Amino acid sequence: MHYLVALGNPGDKYKSTRHNVGFMALDDLIDHHSLASLVDSKNYSGRMTEGFLSGVEFKILYPDTYMNNSGSAVAKFVPKNDVGSLIVIHDDIDLSFGEVRVAVGRGAGGNNGVKSIIEKLGTKDFVRVRIGIAPKSFWTGKTKRPAGGGPLERFVLKPFYINEKSGLKEVFSKTREAIEIVISEGAEAAMNKCN
C-alpha cells in the first residue's frame, strides 16, 4: 500500500496558485487513471480516493487543512508503521518551473507543508515528489528564487504566468511518471530515472 498526499490550500481562492501545483498534479493522475471521484473524509481531514497501479494499492489524500497544518491530516491518514510508503507531492521554490525531482529523507526545504508533516510524523523518511515553481530569468535562463518573507509568500500564492500555463501538461506528465515509478519500482528507481 502507498499513501499519496498532495499539498496545497483548500478553496477556489487558491485553486490555480503555484502553492497548489501538488493538487493539480494529482488531479491529472486521477484523470489519467480514471480513478473514482474524490470523497470528503472527516476522519482524515480531507478529500480522498484510491486505486491500483501495477497491482499495488494506493490511497490519495488532499488535506483540507491549510498548507501550514498539512501534518495533522497526514498523521491521521498514514499508519505509523507505514510512513516509508508515504509519497508527498508538493511545490518547490528551489527548482525551476518544469523540473520534477524525487527525494527521500530530505528536510523541509522551506516548504511549510512538508515541515508540518515532518513535525507531526516525527520523521523525514518518506518520499517527496518536488515540482519546480521558480521562474527562470529571461536574460540568463537561471532560476530566480523570490526573496524570503513577504515577496516569497506572495509569489507562491499567485497563479502561473501565461507562458508557464502551456507547460503545465508536461509538468503533470513528468510528475505522474515519477509517482508511477515510485509505486511500481521504488523510490531509488524513480530517483535514477527522473532526477
- The H or E element spanning position 93 is strand 86-96
Closest C-alpha among 142, 178, 136 to residue 160: 136
Q: Are 130 and 92 in contact (CB under 8 A)?
A: yes
Q: Are 77 and 60 in contact (CB under 8 A)?
A: no
Catalytic site residue from 2, 19, 32, 33: 19
Closest C-alpha among 67, 83, 62 to residue 116: 67
Cell numbers 497544518 correspond to 69
DSSP string, 112-166: HHHHHHHHHHT---SEEEEEEEEPBPTTT--B-PPPTTHHHHHHHTSBPPHHHHT
Q: 2 catalytic, yes or no? A: no
Show Cβ contacts of residue 137 under 8 Å, excluding neighbours closer than 6 positions.
Answer: 143, 144
CA distance 3 to 82: 9
Catalytic residues: 19
